[in-house]
A and B are shown apart, each in its own frame.
Chain A
Amino acid sequence: MLAVAARVPAIPFPHVWGRAGSVVSDTAPVAASVVQPGVDDSAELIEAVARRRDRAAFAELFRRFAPRVKAFVMRSGADPDMAQEVAQETMVLVWRRAETFDRSRAGAATWIFTIARNKRIDLLRKATHADFDPEDYVLFSTEAPESADSAAIGREVRERVGVAMQQLTPDQIDVLRMAFFQEKSHSVIAKEMKLPLGTVKSRIRLALSRLREAMQSEAP
């Protein structure tokens, strides 16, 4: 039987994260994305697990994401065994918490990222990630409630992430890559890039405002 990774189909999708000229480009992923722009059939698989405990759907999710979660965790310096443990435990939680997945709030890859991030903190740092409660703000927010068609909004947001990222400068992308791929805080990033803390902070601020702008603008 072939190893799991060998059966992952390549979906050609030129990706902004692989672009040259970035400081950390030697570790740049050059693989195709498992998520095609505008299509989130992984979301349907998670929903199938939630509704019917669908094992075939879970196996497909596992095939798509477990090898990538392992790769993601290894990039932050974990050894392969620990990274594999995080990947498997992440997928156990994907099964158990499938009911809490809400495609109007996050895409499948984003949802799985947050589970893997928390698992990594739990297993590697023996700490807890305090999670925001999406139902909570109803109590506090004085702002207008979300539109009823939040599913459509969620879909648009996902479709725009790719577009939004192309608005970022290589400097800004480097900071985000180091944060997410290498699990580094902004102060560690500043130290390693030999930049003043203020420079890194303003890069993050500018990156966020560009992301925000691109995601809120009209669909192309």
Chain B
Amino acid sequence: MIRNPAPSELLLDYASGTLAEGPALLVASHLAYSEEARADVAALEAVAGDMLASMPAEVLPDDALARTLARIDAEPASAPTSPPKDDAMRVVGTAIPTPLRRYLPEGAHWQAALGGFEEIELPLRDNSYRATLIRMAAGRGLPAHRHAGSEYTLVLAGGFSDGHGRFDRGDICVADPSVEHKPVADHDQPCVCLVVAEAPVRLTGFFGRLLNPFLKR
């Protein structure tokens, strides 16, 4: 049982396909940990399937089927998606869900970030959000920060507390612009998270503010 599951509206936006790529990646990864969320998405998709089946049919040209079969014959069947990278364990140091493995870029490795944590940026086609894997050392944290937009964090290994709550593997932490938080990893192990942030993150606090000009966000 996940204590901090994805909010229902995030699951609906995911199922309807309206969620931006970054948060959708986060939800798809969250589903690997939460049976409840999987059941909810399956229920919503079943509703959508039922709606599709009840649609009044639009008219297609007479040759639509023939043209579709021609496309099928023209292109040899290929692998539907590139197989996910299997060196994720070695690169990230912990097992990560398949959707994330697909996003891990070639030659990815942990890079030290300002503020005392490590990160791997995941390239997205839709850059309205930034997706980053973050690793905090045991007992260490991120600088206190506030967001200009929404920020979603999914815990992949270990756990953290941020002054508002405690988050374990599979949990989702939602922060909006009104929230200032300072995530700190549990003392017994490093914490690995997927962080999906909508807009530039602003560090708060005296030292944090000094670092702002150096952030590439």
Query: Known: A4-B65, A30-B56, A92-B71. Contact between A110 and B126, CB under 8 A?
Result: no
Quick check: B42 and A157 within 8 Å, CB to CB?
A: yes
Q: Does B80 contact A (CB under 8 A)?
A: yes
| Given contacts A121-B17, A161-B47, A180-B48, A32 and B54 within 8 Å (CB-CB) | yes
Verify B31–A106 contact, CB threshold 8 A: no
Interface of chain A residues 20 through 41 with chain B (CB within 8 A): 29-35
Q: Which residue of B lies closest to A37 (CB)?
A: B50
By the criterion CB–CB under 8 Å, are B54 and A29 in contact?
yes
Residue of B53, B58, B170 ringed by the most chain A CB atoms within 10 A:
B53
Give CA–CA (A22, B149) in the complex, Å.
33
> Complex Cα distance A110/B54, Å?
12
Query: DSSP class of A's interface residues: helix, strand, loop or mixed?
Result: helix
Q: A125-B126, A137-B35 are in contact. Are A33 and B54 (CB under 8 A)?
A: yes
Q: Are B9 and A3 in contact (CB under 8 A)?
A: no
A87-138 contacts to B (CB < 8 Å): 87-88, 91-93, 95-97, 100, 105-114, 116-118, 120-121, 125-133, 135-137
A191 CB-CB contact with B under 8 Å? no
Does chain A have a CB within 8 A of B72? yes
Whether B32 lies near A71 (C-beta < 8 A) is: no
**Complex Cα spacing A126 to B126, Å:** 8
Contact B18 A8 (CB under 8 A): no
Q: Are B43 and A215 in contact (CB under 8 A)?
A: yes
Would you call B125 an interface residue if the criterion is a C-beta within 8 Å of the partner chain's C-beta atoms?
A: yes
A179 & B18 in contact (Cβ 8 Å cutoff) = yes
B13 at the interface (CB under 8 A from A): yes
Q: How many chain-B residues does the 8 Å CB contact rule pick out?
A: 66
Give the complex CA separation of A216 and B40 in angstroms.
11
Which residues of the other chain, B, contact A18 by a CB distance below 8 angstroms? 54
Contact of B58 among A83, A93, A179 (CB under 8 A): A83
Known: A118-B17, A140-B32, A141-B35. A59 touches B43 (CB 8 A): no
State whether the Cβ of A1 lies closer than 8 Å to any Cβ in chain B: yes
| Docked CA distance A13–B55 (Å) | 12
CB distance from A119 to the nearest CB of B (A): 10
Which residues of A are found within 8 Å of B32, using beta-carbon distances? 132-133, 136-137, 139-141
Size bracket, chain A contacts: 35 or more
Interface residues of B in 1-58 (CB under 8 A from A): 7-9, 11-13, 15-21, 24-25, 27-29, 31-33, 35, 38-58
Contacts A68-B57, A113-B49, A201-B7; is A208 near B44 (CB within 8 Å)?
Answer: yes
Contact A110 B48 (CB under 8 A): yes
Query: 10 closest pairs, A vs B, by CB?
Result: A110-B49, A67-B57, A133-B98, A31-B56, A109-B49, A130-B25, A130-B28, A185-B18, A109-B53, A179-B16
Interchain Cβ contacts under 8 Å between A and B, 25 examples:
A3-B62, A4-B59, A17-B54, A31-B54, A66-B60, A67-B58, A68-B53, A110-B42, A112-B49, A113-B52, A127-B125, A130-B102, A132-B32, A132-B38, A133-B97, A137-B31, A137-B32, A137-B33, A139-B95, A140-B32, A141-B33, A157-B43, A184-B16, A205-B8, A211-B43
The residues of B with any CB-CB pair to A shorter than 8 Å are 7-9, 11-13, 15-21, 24-25, 27-29, 31-33, 35, 38-62, 64-65, 67-69, 71-72, 77, 80, 95, 97-99, 102-103, 125-126, 169-170
